Chains A and B, each alone.
Chain A
Amino acid sequence: MAEDAILSAKGITKEFKGFVAVDNVDLTVRRGTIHALIGPNGAGKTTCFNLLTKFLQPTRGEITYKGQDITRMAPADIARLGLVRSFQISAVFPNLTALENIRVALQRERGDSFDFWRSQTVLNSLNERAEELLGQVGLSGFADVHAAELPYGRKRALEIATTLALDPEMLLLDEPMAGMGQEDVERTSALIKGVSANRTILMVEHNLSVVSSLSDTITVLARGRVLAEGDYQAVSKDPRVIEAYIGAAHG
């Protein structure tokens, strides 16, 4: 099993001034799978994402991506390795148009992002690809709309398209469907399923029907610790998981 692990974390821990948000978590994501990370509010899911993508430095533990130790790497360099995350709070560039949002992602690869003497019209060669990506998430016709003016669900869609623009080998999606209407949820589900064909996805999601239909493996986190792991069948019957969710609902 170990050889087809694309991302693995061993004993990662994050302490905030004495409060342990992530406590000795082991996580292995297998190449080509959709892996869901679930758990009640405050379980430490987002903190886990921050550790895995190095937006936060773990207090302890180590992280390996494609056989490479990335525990001490800078977050931008992790993204360059093809491990790209999205954010729980919709992360778009509000005063750029939808098209420009995508182009920001596309232009890094071109290697001219430091060219301050060149006109931005050179970026127009990216428009076709950007339009294509917008179409993929149902945003054709919104190319010239400022991201700030898009309704919430469409902002999330734009964020996914921006992430996909990097053609990452592995995606970390933090609640990609939060705040979306039923129709958008279905389209995004289908999109994630579609793009997962030759990628690995680790996602945090509260919508359990989405989780059950999409994911190969589920890890349940509660109070910073791994509570259970397995497929949906196994995890949903686990008494500790039921207990944690009910406990959280009552707490």
Chain B
Amino acid sequence: MASETTTAGLAYGKRSLVRGMPGHHIAIFIGFLVVAAVAPFLLYPVFVMKVLCFALFACALNLLLGFGGLLSFGHAAYFGSASYITAHAAKVWGLTPELAILSGTAVAAFLGVVFGSLAIRRQGIYFAMVTLAFGQMIYFFALQAEFTGGEDGIQAVPRGHLLGLLDLRADFTLYWVVLAIVFFGLLIIYRVIHSPFGQVLKAIRENEPRAVSLGYRTSQYKLAVFVLSATMAGLAGSTKALVFQLASLTDVHWTMSGEVVLMTLLGGMGTIFGPIVGATVIVAMQNYLASFGAWVTIIQGVIFVIAVLLFREGIIGVLARRLRKPL
């Protein structure tokens, strides 16, 4: 039988998110939680939260790139817009953090519908160029618009009280909320990949004409995965705005779009957990090499070139092939 997929998940009932999850994936998720629970005691909580947000961002991009076969070079548009909206909602409208995050994510989803429906009409490199163009549009909008605060961005965003009750000002309190959001986001992405929809998505990625000949209107699936990916990128951006209490032009800049592609490729595009590893490596590098100033970019570039030469399939991609298990 279809060995991996039929392995029973934990018996949490039919609707459980772990239904049909193979044992080693459950183990990895538990391992992730254990590491994430210990990490803030050993490292700066804000640094770990940054890693978490980018891990979610990279997984969102990977959903589109690795499973939909669509390379977006403008994902900062969704990450950054959500970041601005959340910051604005929390600071100016005075919304509670959960509502601020929802607003940002909803805007990202909306942009995903608009830009996605236009971008999916193009293929390959043209698709990437169209997404890049939309990314630039959002950048210039953020640069010009009043509410985004221009070069300064939106600073000193209040973290507020979760549901009006839990004060999130302390990094440690916020940390558990961020971990919960990111973990939830990762589970959703995992489920999308392993759903009937995900199955069709993989078929389209593998051989689009064949999927068409089987009667699938493939552009609808591409749009759906584009919107899902943009939404999850938005969730990551919104959460990030609360962590740093800041939304800035960096969030919508094209280098942000490039960085998340880099994280995905480094970790292993089309793998399940690779982007988490890729994001961790890149964020850690930026953090610990910060003293090298402008050299960070160059060191990053060199590491990327070496990584691509040594393991094309990314860190987890290579590991998965060695172990002959989907990771």
- Residues of A at the B interface (CB closer than 8 Å) are 53, 55, 74-77, 79-80, 84-87, 91-97, 99-100, 103-105, 107-108, 110, 112-124, 127, 143-144, 162, 166
Q: A104 to B211, Cβ gap below 8 A? A: yes
Q: A120 to B202, Cβ gap below 8 A? A: no
> In the assembled complex, which residues on chain B have CB atoms less than 8 Å from the CB atom of A116?
191-192, 195-198, 224, 228
Q: A80 to B215, Cβ gap below 8 A? A: yes
Residues 189-211 of B contacting A (Cβ, < 8 Å):
191-192, 194-200, 202-203, 206-207, 209-211
Question: Mask for B206-226, Cβ within 8 A of A = 1, else 0?
Answer: 110111111111101100100
Partner of A85, one of B195, B203, B213, B216: B213
Q: A120 to B194, Cβ gap below 8 A? A: yes
Q: B214 to A124, Cβ gap below 8 A? A: no
Interface residues on B, range: 20 to 34
Residues 16-53 of B contacting A (Cβ, < 8 Å):
19-20
Number of A-B contacts (CB under 8 A): 127
Q: B191 to A119, Cβ gap below 8 A? A: yes
Q: A76 to B217, Cβ gap below 8 A? A: yes
Residue of A nearest to B206 (CB): A93
**B5 within 8 Å of A (CB atoms):** yes
Q: B210 to A143, Cβ gap below 8 A? A: no
Q: A113 to B2, Cβ gap below 8 A? A: no
Complexed CA–CA distance, A105 and B212 (Å): 11
> In the assembled complex, which residues on chain A have CB atoms less than 8 Å from the CB atom of B194?
119-120
**B3 within 8 Å of A (CB atoms):** yes
Q: B210 to A117, Cβ gap below 8 A? A: no
**B1 within 8 Å of A (CB atoms):** yes
**B6 within 8 Å of A (CB atoms):** yes
Given contacts A94-B206, A107-B196, A124-B2, contact A75 B212 (CB under 8 A): yes
> In the assembled complex, which residues on chain B have CB atoms less than 8 Å from the CB atom of A76?
212, 215-218
Q: B200 to A107, Cβ gap below 8 A? A: yes
Interchain Cβ contacts under 8 Å between A and B, 26 examples: A53-B213, A76-B217, A84-B214, A84-B215, A87-B213, A91-B207, A91-B210, A92-B207, A94-B206, A99-B1, A99-B2, A107-B200, A113-B197, A113-B216, A114-B196, A115-B196, A115-B197, A116-B198, A117-B192, A117-B195, A118-B191, A119-B19, A120-B5, A120-B196, A121-B20, A124-B6
Complexed CA–CA distance, A18 and B23 (Å): 59
